[in-house]
Structure 1
Amino acid sequence: MLKKKFFKSIDETEVTFEFAREDVTDVAIAGDFNEWQPQPMKFVKKDNVFRTRIRLPKNQDFNFRYLLNAQEWENDYAADAYIPNPFGTENSVVCTQPT
């Protein structure tokens, strides 16, 4: 799930990434914004989700995926778009342009 917060005073968008699945004990996020180096997401027990917030430049598109249990790649079901990647699957896309 994606939540976006747009700022009027700076050219950034704060994106909250959330992922939940019962059989997952560890989630990391990787994408264009971190050179595809998986960053761990924090488990929020009260909401039963893994969550992280990342500030990204406005008016750009970023590819990303979640790495589950350090072995399985998964997309975000609420992504703004999906595009094919070189591995025969798709990447999730988050758009930071205000609508």
Structure 2
Amino acid sequence: MITKTYLKTKDQCKVKFNMNADSADKAEIVGLNGDWNNRVEMKKRKDGSFVAEVSLPKNSYHEFKYLINGSEWRNDPDADGEAPNEYGETNSILTI
């Protein structure tokens, strides 16, 4: 699940990512702001879900994927859409 909270006083939007990955030990978000090298680490909750909150600029477009346990790539079904990538797969789209 993705929740967007637009800030009235700033040109930013707080985006909360919440993903279920019961058997995972680690989850990260990769690709935000076009940066596929630096990952956003998600925190694991007691119920097995992972959460992260980031601020992103308003009127921006982001392609991203979740990286589970360092090897499994996963899209977000609640993203704003999907876009093809260079590997013949798709990335999740987030429009702010």
Fold shared per TM-score above 0.5: yes
Which runs of structure 2 are paired with 1:2-81 in the superposition (5 Å)?
2-33=2-33, 35-36=35-36, 37-45=38-46, 47-81=47-81
The residue type equivalent to 2:8 in the other structure is: K
| Maintained 8 Å contact 2:34/2:62 | no
Give CA deviations for 1:49-68 in whole Å, capped at 9, x if unaligned: 10000000001110110001
Q: Measure the CA separation in 1 of the matches of 2:59 and 2:24.
A: 32
Task: Determine what percentage of the aligned residue pairs are the same residue.
Answer: 35
Q: Measure the CA separation in 2 of the matches of 1:34 and 1:17.
A: 17
Task: State the match for 2:86 in structure 1.
Answer: 86
Taking structure 2 as the reference length, the TM-score comes to 0.91
Q: CA deviation at 1:34?
A: 6.4
Unaligned stretches of 5+ residues in structure 2: none
Q: CA deviation at 1:39?
A: 2.5
Superposition misfits of 4+ residues, deviation over 4 angstroms: none
RMSD (Å), alpha carbons: 1.3
